[in-house]
Amino acid sequence: MAGILVIAETSDGAVSPISFEVLGAAHKLSSEGGGAVSAFVAGTEAEAKELIAHGADTAFAATNPTLASATADAFLPAVEAAIQQSGADIVLLGQTSFGRDLGPALAFKLGSAIAMDCVELKIDGGRLRATRSAYGGNARAEVTWKGAVQVATVKAKTFDALPADVSRSGSVTTLDAAGEPRVKVLSTEKASSEGVKIEDAPVVVSGGRGLGDPSAFKMLEELSHLLKGATGASRAACDLGWYPPSQQVGLTGKTVSPSLYIAVAISGASQHMAGMSGSKNIVAINKDGDANMVKVSRFAIVDDYKKVVPALIEEIKKLN
């Protein structure tokens, strides 16, 4: 078949982990007859070689300095050159700030469609078929494409990256093209998160509107620190200003898949579930025994978190 092009992204000079996951997805499609895997990155030969080590058969290193703006305007001509040279008819990106902007812009530019935040991808009759969630996470939709080039963004933590194999060989092509950005980036502030990044944390303790008071996050932080994890929040809690949006877990927030997710006073609406249903083990602490979060969890305590959480902290300290 025509082939799969992965648009990789970088952060702090290295290829972002989600791009390796997307390469994993591309590898799966390739094994189903989707064709060869190529990858595109705004960077040097070093980043291109990393992509080959993680499963790309060929890599495009786009070197134009304008790409540092990370805007769709700058990337489109370079990506289009890579599509043309690779002959790919499937283009994959990660569902990230970058992918959410570049993906749709690319699809419309090509006169084709894009499926966002896909949780499943397969080759069916020589063409791509994708599964994604809809209706706030309540439903699943399976889609195909009318247009020639099939663009999709891939949900984080859904596909596994291949283990890096530096002995893998592949060709690297440098691309010079870039577009003129019409949007000027004035400043970027990274959210200051002390400790583990929530997407990578083995344990996440999250709080919702049911906490009743933002000061409750202090005890959730104490619990997550004790468990060497991160603290998250539902969108409702973030909208109330109780916790920073960078820690929001959900459909329009982060996707996490820790070994242990402790949901404190969170009802478990589908939009929240969309961000953490991949957690290996869920614990719910909620006064409402009928809450959806209680139903989907492995262990649940139906009681007042104000009493349960401090006691749980003491119990875990005793165990250690």
Partner 1 sequence: MNPFDPQATEAALRLKDAAGGGKVTVISLGADSARDSIKHALAMGADEGVLLSDPGFDGIDNFQTAVALARAIQKVGEFDLILMGRQAADWDMGVVPTGVAQLLGLPAVTIAKAIEANGPTIKVERVLDDGFQTVETTLPAVVSVSNEFGEPRYPQLRQIMLAAKKTVQVWSAADIGLEAGQLGAANRWLPLEALYVPKVESNVEIIEGDSPEEKAHNLALKLRAAKLV
Q: Is 44 in the site for partner 1 (CB under 8 A)?
A: no
- Using CB under 8 A as the criterion, what x/- string covers residues 106-145 for binding partner 1? -xxx--xxxxxx-----------x---xxxxxxxxxxxxx
Give the pair of three-digit tokens for residue 242: 């109780």
Torsion of CA 284, 290, 292, 298, to 10 degrees: 40
- On whether the CB atoms of residues 317 and 298 are closer than 8 A, the answer is no
In angstroms, give the least distance from the CB of 57 to partner 1. Answer: 28
Q: Which residues pair with 15 in a beta bridge?
A: 10
Which one, 147 or 163, has the nearer CB to partner 1?
Answer: 147
Distance between CA atoms of residues 246 and 197, nearest Å: 10
Q: Is 79 in the site for partner 1 (CB under 8 A)?
A: no
Which one, 163 or 202, has the nearer CB to partner 1?
Answer: 202
Q: Is 303 in the site for partner 1 (CB under 8 A)?
A: yes
Q: Is 213 in the site for partner 1 (CB under 8 A)?
A: no
Q: Is 74 in the site for partner 1 (CB under 8 A)?
A: no
In angstroms, give the least distance from the CB of 58 to partner 1. Answer: 28
Distance between CA atoms of residues 264 and 211, nearest Å: 7
In angstroms, give the least distance from the CB of 172 to partner 1. Answer: 28
In angstroms, give the least distance from the CB of 83 to partner 1. Answer: 16
Q: Residue 174, Cβ neighbours under 10 Å: how many?
A: 13
According to CB under 8 A, which residues from 54 to 73 bind partner 1?
72-73
- Using CB under 8 A as the criterion, what x/- string covers residues 142-161 for binding partner 1? xxxxxx--------------
Q: Which residues pair with 171 in a beta bridge?
A: 58
Q: Residue 298, Cβ neighbours under 10 Å: how many?
A: 12
Give the pair of three-digit tokens for residue 255: 């996707």
According to CB under 8 A, which residues from 224 to 283 bind partner 1?
227, 235, 238-239, 245-246, 251-252, 254, 259-260, 281, 283
Distance between CA atoms of residues 276 and 221, nearest Å: 18
